[in-house]
Structure 1
């Protein structure tokens, strides 16, 4: 066959006319080109069908969106008819108005002086404000903070720690930082915050130090362990959490019997660096169901 092909390519004009032309006409022109043409036509046919279906779906979706927007517009712009002296606002609008009214009431009731802030703190939380409260008041008023008297979140967050001895808290902090427990270690010594290790990159370390540097001069020497994960790392069963909460309220009651002072009354304790430990209170729950442990925080069902 190779010899025949060479003769066809190198032969006489008659051979080219009698050999190549029939081969070109019968093979190259008739079969493959017709096949390619058929494939192209089928491809264009299916492409046009898919394109038509896509435009039909887009049209239906656009019509549904227009109908929905028209319904929402009519709902919010429906004329209000007052019945029995009550407005018929949309429930969402009513919720927004009530929230704004509640916010304005809380904002307008904030203390306007340091003496008022101290008295309000003691009235709400049944204990005197923490040391250097006057420095804090100066800090927030310079930045025009609107909510000066609102400490509910932090009050309830640290209430269980009032039921622990300060020495216990310091010992636990040194213990947790004595092992690689995925905690960022920050030390405050002589009013200067220093990040030792454990942070997730400069954004976390630099941001934490920058925030602490603004008021670290008013804090005592301490070791701080920051959880670098988004989820909590310490789970206390609800039944066990009740005990330190009750003890914390007792400690606050004893503190409330003392006079109000804004001077520091921190524990005079020698600064201690974390030391390596050979045991760990954290457990590894990698590749396990997180909710099995987190649900221990929930109170018992009624």
Structure 2
């Protein structure tokens, strides 16, 4: 039960945190009066959820810049790209959130408002991926090095890795969207009334922890993070169970580390010389 000046008349009424076609079933909110905290918190939560609707579009635009500035994207700083993407994303997410929160459009138009940025993002990401594959194939055939330097080849391969990351994010996002749609239908049609609290918990969890799931998916897409072990059981076993072999094993690891560093330095020197000869 919500307490407040405009909720005191609702006695012995079960309130659910979900959409209803009947406005009388919803919690009355009077802006700038007793329920302004409820209003602001709901708006912020919806803004956080709606910010994911433009995630694919912003990533695809950023990868397009990486493809356009293929020769020096990693080397030369272009802070205006990040500032522009953040500003455009914030304004666009704010407009979408206001439209949804105040129900300014009909339901089909609201759905179209969410789908449109993702359709544009899909087309842009597929075109950018095609262009990067074309550049990579050109390098593999050792054709026209004057147009594609070593830095461009490296950036093209990095872009392809980022496309693999985008694919994992899309799969995770589609799974969450599918779960949310099914749960929303079950709530809206009141198919299982006894499980309404559980379905509300799923909806609230998706709205609150979607960013965490997406962030974990992005981190898992990076090879260096994916290979990290949260608990090194082998090291624990060596310390507590095989104390005599510990010194020898650690010494081997140090030697291997030194050799790895030497190989890295030689590789960097080789590629630097190769890049200077091509540019």
> Could you tell me the TM-score, scaled by structure 2's length?
0.19
Q: Say which one has the larger Rg.
A: 1
Kindly indicate which of the two structures has a greater share of residues assigned to helix. Answer: 2
> Could you tell me the TM-score, scaled by structure 1's length?
0.18
